[in-house]
Amino acid sequence: MAYADQDGMSTNRLVSVVIVLLLHAFLGYALVTGLAYDAVVAIKEKMTVVDVKEEEPPEEEEPPPEPEKQIEPPVVSPPPMVVTVTPPPTVRTVDTPPPAAPIVPTAAPPAPPPPAGPTAEAKPRGNPGNWANTNDYPSRALQQEREGTTGFRVTIGVDGRVIDCQVTQSSGHADLDAATCTNVKRRARFEPAVRNGEKVQGSYSNRVRWQIPK
């Protein structure tokens, strides 16, 4: 009997403990849930909703109306003044010729003095035809059968020798012209020119005809 009571008491006690635990758990859950709900409500009451409105852009001001252009009246210039100028009377003057200069007789120029001695031009010594001969014919011109006439003028010194030779008329062939002056300067001799009895430089002109002998 004692063991049975003891078992029954143990079972009841265990049941009581479980019930107490369940009650504590329920109370804890209810407490936590209620406190959380109250906290949410309190926070919700303290929260304020702020409605932020976007600022609208300012309206653009219309430009002021342009001022009306004032039409200026045309400027009318007065007509030009016409001034008539009367020319002064023309006075004609008669020029008086100047008095004629007195005529002074001029003396006649003196007559040139008579020559003090003889005057003569340079003259060649010997025959000018011997100054150039067939043997002087340029070989190339001879082979090509070229002919022509060369005019020349020489300057003669007081000793009668040729100082200078110039071609006055070309034969058309440079070698024939060169041969003319070369042979004349080498062979020509002259009687020098004379002025008032004194020997002076003179000049002489002639021609050389280059012709191939037949």
Q: How far is CA 150 from CA 49, 133, 147, in A?
A: 137, 14, 10
Q: Name the nearest CA neighbour of 150 among 129, 169, 174.
A: 169
pLDDT value at residue 127: 93
Q: 3-state class of 64 per DSSP?
A: coil
Integer Cα distance of 53 and 7 in angstroms: 77
Helix residue ranges per DSSP H, the chain: 2-46, 139-143, 174-187
Q: Which two tokens stand for residue 143?
A: 């082979």
Has residue 149 been placed in a domain?
yes
Has residue 1 been placed in a domain?
yes
What tens digit of pLDDT does each residue of 8-62 get? 556 777 877 888 788 777 777 766 665 555 544 554 454 444 444 555 656 666 6
Range of the domain at 133: 123-210
Q: Which two tokens stand for residue 74?
A: 């045309």
Strand partners of residue 164: 155
Question: Which is higher by pLDDT, 195 or 96?
Answer: 195
Question: What percent of the chain shows pLDDT beyond 70?
Answer: 57
Has residue 15 been placed in a domain?
yes
The pTM for the full model equals: 0.46
Q: 3-state class of 124 per DSSP?
A: strand
Question: Which is higher by pLDDT, 180 or 1?
Answer: 180
Residue with tokens 């003259």: 123
pLDDT value at residue 43: 44
Instruction: Please count the structural domains in the chain.
Output: 2
Has residue 10 been placed in a domain?
yes
Has residue 55 been placed in a domain?
no
**Per-chain mean pLDDT for the chain:** 75
Residue 185 pLDDT grade (very low, low, confident, very high; cuts 50, 70, 90):
very high
> Residue 177: which CATH number?
3.30.2420.10
Has residue 158 been placed in a domain?
yes
Has residue 157 been placed in a domain?
yes
Has residue 93 been placed in a domain?
no
Per-residue pLDDT for 139 more than 60? yes
Which of residues 31, 47, 63 is at a domain's end?
Answer: 47
